[in-house]
Amino acid sequence: MRLLVTGACGFIGSHVCEALVARGDTVVGLDNFNDFYDPRLKEHNRAALEARPGFSLVRGSILDEEAMAQAFVARPDAVVHLAAWAGVRPSIERPALYVRENVDGTVAVMDALRAQPRVAGALPKLVFASSSSVYGTNAKVPFEEDDPIAHPVSPYAATKRAAELLAYTYHHLYGLDVTCLRFFTVYGPRQRPEMAIHKFARLLLDGKAVPRYGDGTTRRDYTFIADIVQGVLASIDRCAGFHIYNLGNSRTVTLNELIEKLATALGVTAKVEALPEQPGDVPITYADVSRAVRELDYRPDFPLERGLAEFATWLKARG
Ligand SMILES: NC(=O)c1ccc[n+]([C@@H]2O[C@H](COP(=O)([O-])OP(=O)(O)OC[C@H]3O[C@@H](n4cnc5c(N)ncnc54)[C@H](O)[C@@H]3O)[C@@H](O)[C@H]2O)c1
């Protein structure tokens, strides 16, 4: 297959591209190397990807028509749209930026898709990275795709839900096949440096205290990157109609447990600095993945301890 992957040089994108070229697909990556976190990390991912046959990069934004035209020259069979500004807390400071990049950006990707020539009546398909944050403070757990979710508690979550709704509209109006994937806190090698596991690990290795917001009883469903990649590839292969899937691990741990397990994986003793709860944080994320298991043959099978050990090995090797 020929794929266009937006956000190709980020954390999830670099793993997805790697897996796609490894199975023989041809991948064009599009990335603008924004400064949400140190772009050198993305350049590092780019260099590793460009060393692989089957991968090429277009440097630019999904909001730049020229870059998009260049990215579509190879006539992809499907687009995996991962480019976005991620992160709940920064979105509270910069809501307009998140709306532009995540909502207008997704509309730009879908407009480019609907302008593509149809093959046997069909447009190229779209797999879109949504987020567990769309569930907000949903009291019912585990979260199911059809749960009512009208109350996002951060601009980031609202932009992801808005993009899902617009994706349905494009499916309805133009027959675009779309799969929206609600990722649940993804971790593993190359994880974004501002995400909890990565940030905590660096502090722990430096012998510093981990800032713990709230009393440490908030629960998260952490999903190892290899499981996410399996779910993304299955979604590309089975994308037809309009579907939403949770991609999580379907097990939760408290923040206190996470810090302990991470310290064990790193071979250090955990130190914690207790801080007040943060606005925009949700008490629990917990995925019901039965739809993805049934329809995508999604099999999340990485226990947290093993995933954290792989992450710790990567982080220490990176220095
Ligand atoms: N990591 C997680 O736990 C998680 C959870 C839920 C959803 N997601 C979603 O998955 C996707 C990938 O997340 P990630 O953790 O790999 O983040 P990331 O920041 O590492 O990757 C995103 C990439 O997109 C690029 N990008 C951003 N705006 C762009 C634009 N306008 N044009 C072109 N490229 C652009 C960035 O430079 C970056 O390389 C995002 O859409 C994110 O919202 C991630």
Residue 204: inside a domain: no
**Ligand 1 mean position, distance from CA 13 (Å):** 7
Q: Which residues line ligand 1 at a C-beta cut-off of 6 Å?
A: 6-7, 9-13, 30-34, 36, 42, 61-63, 82-84, 86, 101, 105, 129, 131, 183, 185-186, 192
> What pLDDT, on the 0 to 100 scale, is given for residue 308?
98
Give every CB contact of residue 116 below 8 A, 6+ residues apart in sequence: 72, 75, 123, 124
Rounded to an integer, the average pLDDT of 195-204 is 97
Residue 79: inside a domain: yes
Residue 311: inside a domain: no
Rounded to an integer, the average pLDDT of 286-306 is 97
> What pLDDT, on the 0 to 100 scale, is given for residue 125?
98
214: nearest Cα among 261, 153, 283, 271: 283
**Ligand 1 mean position, distance from CA 129 (Å):** 8
Q: Grade residue 211 by pLDDT with cuts at 50, 70 and 90.
A: very high
**319 has a pLDDT exceeding 80:** no
> What pLDDT, on the 0 to 100 scale, is given for residue 46?
98
- Quick one: which atom of ligand 1 is closest to the CA of 13? 16
- Quick one: which atom of ligand 1 is closest to the CA of 14? 16
- Tell me which residue range forms the domain holding 30: 2-187+222-250+286-301
**227 has a pLDDT exceeding 80:** yes
**Ligand 1 mean position, distance from CA 9 (Å):** 9
> What pLDDT, on the 0 to 100 scale, is given for residue 281?
82
**Ligand 1 mean position, distance from CA 102 (Å):** 10
Instruction: Please tell me the total count of domains within the chain.
Output: 1
In single-letter form, the type of residue at position 236 comes to: I
Give every CB contact of residue 21 below 8 A, 6+ residues apart in sequence: 27, 49, 52, 53, 54, 55
63: nearest Cα among 17, 28, 30, 96: 30
**1 has a pLDDT exceeding 80:** yes
- Quick one: which atom of ligand 1 is closest to the CA of 33? 37
**Ligand 1 mean position, distance from CA 207 (Å):** 30
pTM, entire model = 0.98
Query: What is each CA distance from 315 to 186, 206, 220, 221, in whole angstroms?
Result: 16, 13, 22, 21
Q: What percent of the chain lies above the pLDDT cut of 70?
A: 100
The whole-angstrom separation of Cα 319 and Cα 306 is 20
Residue 310: inside a domain: no
Residue 51: inside a domain: yes
Residue 86: inside a domain: yes
> What pLDDT, on the 0 to 100 scale, is given for residue 317?
95
| pLDDT tens digits along 268-277 | 999 999 999 8
> What pLDDT, on the 0 to 100 scale, is given for residue 280?
77
From the candidates 98, 135, 156, 245, give the one annotated as an active-site residue. 156
Is 156 catalytic? The answer is yes
Residue 316: inside a domain: no
Q: Grade residue 279 by pLDDT with cuts at 50, 70 and 90.
A: confident
Burial class, 40, CB count within 10 angstroms (exposed 0-12 / middle 13-18 / buried 19+) = exposed
Residue 62: inside a domain: yes
> What pLDDT, on the 0 to 100 scale, is given for residue 282?
85
**143 has a pLDDT exceeding 80:** yes
Ligand 1 pocket test, pick from 28, 30, 101, 131 with the greatest ligand atom count within 8 Å of Cβ, gives 131
Looking only at the bridges linking them, the beta strands covering 272-275 and 210-213 are parallel
Asked whether the beta carbons of 131 and 85 are under 8 A apart, the reply is: no
- Quick one: which atom of ligand 1 is closest to the CA of 45? 39
Rounded to an integer, the average pLDDT of 14-41 is 98
- Counting other chains too, the contacts that 203-210 makes at CB distance below 8 Å and 24 or more residues apart are 204/262, 204/263, 204/266, 204/268, 204/270, 204/271, 205/266, 205/268, 205/315, 205/316, 207/268, 207/271, 208/271, 209/271, 209/272, 209/273, 210/259, 210/270, 210/271, 210/272, 210/273
**139 has a pLDDT exceeding 90:** no
> What pLDDT, on the 0 to 100 scale, is given for residue 206?
97
CATH number of residue 40's parent domain: 3.40.50.720
